[in-house]
Amino acid sequence: MAEPSRRLAFLNAGAVATGPAEAGPVRRPTWDDVGLVRGVGIGVEDGRIALLAPDDEVGEWFHAAASPDSVVDCEGRLVTAGLVDCHTHAVFGAPRLEDHARRARGEGYKAIAAAGGGILSTVADFRARSEDELVALAIPRLALLGSLGTTVVEIKSGYGLALEPELKALRAIARLREHVPLRLVATFLGAHEVPPEYRSRRDAYVQLVIEEMLPAVVRAGLAEFCDVFCEPGVFSLEESAAILGVAGAYGLGLKLHADELDPSGGAELAARLGASSADHLGAISGAGIEALAASGTVAVLLPGTLMFLGQARQAPARALVDAGAVVALATDFNPGSSPGANLPLMMTLAVSQARLQPEEAFIAATANAAHAVGLSGERGRVAVGLPADLVVWNCRDVRELAYWYGMPLAWRVYASGRPCHDPEPGISSLGSVGRPLVPPLS
């Protein structure tokens, strides 16, 4: 991979949406301020934002360098921080095409599992694949995700469900850092499901996670967070609390798949444990909303999952925001329930299906998502000193990101000053492709 540019200048931006001025989570009443500034350029040095100033100042600074690298002429486009996908299961093998088709024929979760599908088919597939193969499969998937404007990706283990394959997943994530310029955050999710060989002795699996897997993961330094799938029939509140209690004592950040299908008290547990995030929340109770609003735990909403599964409901995003909770968005990218990693599309769903305002959806996919993965001090905003995760969009207004749904709007994407998406000259023959979709202000 190429060394980071020494000096890079972004000039002629229509506007820069810097995000919040300060690090930290954003909640009501100020959280829809996208920090729009006009007439400024951005100077990048050795992968970090060095200057946010009028264009002529940035131009002068750039040309004064001993080794200026390149100028990005934004041609009036919008510039923002890279998006942060704070919940994915992006390291996996085969897709689950048959599950998708079966759901369309009206088959439910149990019928699909009985036919050999469901998460356990992904576990069997994952265990059979080599680490090299999993890395090779993840590289183009992450490259695609980067091309859509995402520069930070949280990735969970959880398809191994045994010591060695769980370590294989986390080692694969570590190796991917050498192949893609994105900032990858690794989460240990050994308690994603009870594997088939432990179905008659669940307690023994919880013990295995606590006594063997967690210490091995921590010893190897392979994870920043620990997550548990807390849901009736998967891991109970007590089991989740036991696992996360130990993970917290090891110094890992805590996350919880909570209240996805039933309001079982997962959100309350996450708040009580001081978890970084409680994720899904499709069935969160009123008490759960209050608990999150009174806590620093980020409510991570995954609207693509409910859409892909054909559910007619979404998590109560508006109620969470209005109650004062910190709300973030993510894709849940995984082969079963959300085989998509288009975070701007999640912003669309949040607006169209869950009643967030477009500016709120932007903050939820940047600053608040960064906070959910412990990175609010360094990602999700445009500010001097931060890594240069920058996206130049083929649009002029932040609200367009959630508006042109499903369209790949990112024009140039940089992660720590390194280009991860540069579509030209491949599309130059298409003429107008690559131009903003809204005419310039007259």
Q: What angle do CA 224, 292, 215 make, to 5 degrees?
A: 25
Identify which of 297, 292, 343 has the alpha carbon closest to the alpha carbon of residue 316.
292
**For Zn ion, which is the closer residue by CB, 227 or 239?**
227
C-beta of 41 vs 336, nearer to Zn ion: 336
DSSP state of 69: E
Rounded CA separation 283/291 (Å): 14
Instruction: Compare residues 99 and 332 and give the one whose CB is closer to Zn ion.
Output: 332
CB-wise, 332 or 360, nearer to Zn ion?
Answer: 332
Which residue's CB is nearer to Zn ion, number 304 or number 344? 304
Least Cβ distance, residue 260 to Zn ion (angstroms): 8
Q: Nearest approach, Cβ of 402 to Zn ion (angstroms)? A: 22
**Backbone φ and ψ of 427, nearest 5°:** -105, 5
Smallest distance, Zn ion to C-beta of residue 130, A: 24
Rg (CA), the chain: 21
Q: Is 76 left (phi over 0), alpha (psi -120 to 50) or beta?
A: left
* Smallest separation, CB 131 to Zn ion (Å): 22
Shortest gap between Cβ of 257 and Zn ion (angstroms)? 5
Residue 167 identity = L
- Helices marked H in 222-372: 237-249, 266-273, 286-293, 303-308, 317-323, 343-352, 358-364, 367-372
> What would the two tokens of residue 98 be?
């048959």
Please give the angle made by the CA atoms of 433, 435 and 436, to the nearest 5 degrees.
Answer: 130
Instruction: Supply angle C-alpha 62, 65, 67, rounded to 5.
Output: 110
> Which residues, numbered 313-352, are part of the site for Zn ion (CB under 5 A)?
332
Quick one: angle between helices 163-176 and 131-147, nearest 10?
40
Number of residues written out for the chain: 442
**CB 119 → Zn ion: shortest distance, Å?**
10
Nearer to Zn ion, 192 or 412 (CB): 192
In the complex, minimum distance from the CB of residue 273 to Zn ion, in angstroms, rounded to a whole number: 18
Q: CA-CA distance, 15 to 310, in Å (whole number)?
A: 37
CB-nearer residue toward Zn ion: 303 or 417: 303
**Which residue, 88 or 295, has its beta carbon nearer to Zn ion?**
88
Q: How far is the CB of 242 from Zn ion (least distance, A)?
A: 20
**Cβ atoms of residues 312 and 353 within 8 Å:** no
Q: How many residues line the site for Zn ion (CB under 5 A)?
A: 1
**Closest by Cα among 293, 356, 285, 359 to 326:** 293
- Residues pairing with 253 in the sheet: 225
- Least Cβ distance, residue 327 to Zn ion (angstroms): 17
- In the complex, the smallest distance separating the C-beta of residue 301 from Zn ion, rounded to whole angstroms, is 12
Closest residue to Zn ion, Cβ-based?
Answer: 332
Residue 161 CB coordination number (10 Å): 28
Is the Cβ of residue 92 or residue 411 nearer to Zn ion in the bound state? Answer: 92
Q: Which is nearer to Zn ion, 268 or 332 (CB)?
A: 332
**429 SS3 class:** helix
Binding site for Zn ion (CB under 5 A): 332
